[in-house]
Amino acid sequence: MNNFQELTNFLDKYDVKYIIHSDCVEVEGDLWLNSNNLTSLPESFGNLKIGGDLGLQHNNLTSLPESFGNLKIGGSLWLDKNNLTSLPESFGNLKIGYDLSLGENKLESLPESFGNLKIGGDLWINHNNLTSLPESFGNLKIGGDLGLHGNKLKSLPESFGNLKIGGGLWINHNNLASLPESFGNLKIGGDLWLSNNNLTSLPESFGNLKIGGYLWLSNNNLTSLPESFGNLKIGSDLWLENNKLESLPESFGNLKIGGNLCLYGNKLASLPESFGNLKIGGGLSLSNNKLTSLPESFGNLKIGGGLSLAHNNLASLPSIPSMNQTIKKDWCYIDGIVREIVSKKTLGELTIIKTPFDYIVGKNTTWAHGRTIEEATQDYHFKLMEANPDALKEIDLDKPMTHEEAINVYRTITRACREGIKQWMSGKIFPEQITIREIINLTQSAYGGKEFKQFFLP
């Protein structure tokens, strides 16, 4: 009992109920010591046996006693939001039943013993100051997610590919310039986050990955992808936006993507002929690239959602003479968006197209999308006004107009958004039709009101 005096005195201070055994002090349930301004723990702290969770969050701990690794914890261990800069070498001896959270500390390194841990749930080491990981890290067995995001990692050990991860892997927001060749050996049950690093290339083994959820490679410096990339197994979205990709491997067309494919904001000037073989469960974005043409196979794409080609240098689509014409197999390309045509009809001079996602209304080179025919028609008329705003000066200030006509005039002159105007109108009573002069009087203190008056009454 004397051996545990320091420990029991500590527990008494926080009114913790415990049982003293010959070899340990047992807390049968959870032990919560969060938010107590703790700066240290007694050296004998490792003699504890805890049946549930151990919570040490939101304290001011800068270090842990060497005995800490002797702890036996039936549930989770929460050490996040402290000021830890290192962990004792014994840390790898810990017995933890579920999650281990070390996030939001100041850890600069992990002990070599760290790889001995077996974590039944998640392991969170996010938002620390780690620049590297011990070689033993690859020996870890993690039942849930592994979070390493928000550190300063410059590289990963070669053993990293040996990790056993039941959930997702988060390595985004680090300083990684490359990945070890072993990386492709990973089997990831959830999402893989590699966004916001400094990756310039991927190892050839990358195509061997099996990813149950999303693959995020956004906001890196990738200029190319390995030929093996087309072998990837991805359960949901693939995000490659905001890199520096100049080309895609021929194997890219072999991908089967359960969700969205985003290639927005790269430097692609062309696509491989195999691109048309892609099967994409969601949408496809190729906006903000340097595409001047598309492969003939493009029309064979299987896309579950929308397709955006805005902000490229395309003069035409395969077999299509004009950007605003109906594409073969009942697709249309309007305002940089490809849509399947469900039905099409003419109303007066306007063409109305119904797609699986919206309506498109217009003629010649002016078109607008909307959730309803009415919305699309209103935005079509707004675009006409926007193209020639000076023509509005010819409007009779006392001629009544509908609310929608008035909204379009106000938007054109003030650049106010439709939703903002609708919200301003909400709860106010207006005549069924309204004149420009009445609008001037009503909007004197509203957004854009002064600009609106100045336009008509300079």
Question: DSSP H helical segments within 388-435, as ranges?
Answer: 403-414, 418-425
Q: Is residue 6 part of a domain?
A: no
Judgement on whether residues 236 and 310 belong to the same structural domain of the protein? yes
Q: Is residue 370 part of a domain?
A: no
Q: Is residue 1 part of a domain?
A: no
3-class secondary structure, 397: coil
Q: Is residue 64 part of a domain?
A: yes
Residue identified by tokens 């006693």 is: 65
Judgement on whether residues 298 and 237 belong to the same structural domain of the protein? yes
What are the structure tokens assigned to 323, written together?
A: 């950007």
Q: Is residue 14 part of a domain?
A: no
- Write the DSSP assignment of 136-180 as a string of letters: GGGG-EESS-EE-TTS------GGGGG-EESS-EE--SS--S---
Q: Which H/E stretch holds residue 376?
A: helix 373-387
Judgement on whether residues 427 and 284 belong to the same structural domain of the protein? no
The last residue of a domain, from among 348, 375, 406: 348
Q: Is residue 288 part of a domain?
A: yes
Phi, psi for 46 (deg, rounded to 5): -70, -10
pTM as predicted: 0.71
Judgement on whether residues 335 and 401 belong to the same structural domain of the protein? no
Identify the pLDDT of residue 1: 46
pLDDT by residue, tens only, the chain of 458 residues: 457 999 999 999 999 999 999 999 999 999 999 999 999 999 999 999 999 999 999 999 999 999 999 999 999 999 999 999 999 999 999 989 999 999 999 999 999 999 999 899 999 999 999 999 999 999 999 999 999 999 999 999 999 999 989 999 999 999 999 999 999 999 898 999 999 999 999 999 999 998 989 999 999 999 999 999 999 988 889 999 999 999 999 999 999 888 899 999 999 999 999 998 998 888 889 999 999 888 988 878 888 777 888 888 876 666 433 333 343 345 677 776 666 677 888 888 898 988 877 888 988 888 888 889 988 888 888 888 888 888 888 888 899 988 888 888 888 888 887 777 877 887 777 888 899 898 888 888 888 888 888 888 88
The last residue of a domain, from among 318, 348, 378: 348
Q: Is residue 326 part of a domain?
A: yes
Give the residue numbers spanning the domain of 397: 388-456
Identify the pLDDT of residue 397: 87
- Which candidate, 177, 88, 68, 175, places its Cα nearest to that of 131? 175
Identify the pLDDT of residue 319: 45
Judgement on whether residues 344 and 404 belong to the same structural domain of the protein? no
- Which candidate, 310, 305, 299, places its Cα nearest to that of 280? 305
Judgement on whether residues 231 and 88 belong to the same structural domain of the protein? yes
Judgement on whether residues 302 and 407 belong to the same structural domain of the protein? no
Judgement on whether residues 67 and 163 belong to the same structural domain of the protein? yes
Identify the pLDDT of residue 268: 96
Identify the pLDDT of residue 224: 96
Q: Which amino acid is at 295?
A: P
How many domains is the chain partitioned into structurally? Answer: 2
Q: How far apart are CA 240 and CA 215, in angstroms?
A: 9
Identify the pLDDT of residue 27: 95
Q: How far apart are CA 455 and CA 458, in angstroms?
A: 6
CB 29 within 8 A of CB 51: yes
State the pairing for strand pair 359-363/366-370.
antiparallel
Identify the pLDDT of residue 336: 63
Identify the pLDDT of residue 92: 95
Q: Which amino acid is at 375?
A: E
Judgement on whether residues 121 and 223 belong to the same structural domain of the protein? yes
Q: Is residue 10 part of a domain?
A: no
What are the structure tokens assigned to 151, written together?
A: 């550190």
Judgement on whether residues 327 and 447 belong to the same structural domain of the protein? no
Identify the pLDDT of residue 422: 76
Judgement on whether residues 304 and 441 belong to the same structural domain of the protein? no
Identify the pLDDT of residue 320: 39
CATH code of the domain containing 230 = 3.80.10.10
Judgement on whether residues 294 and 414 belong to the same structural domain of the protein? no
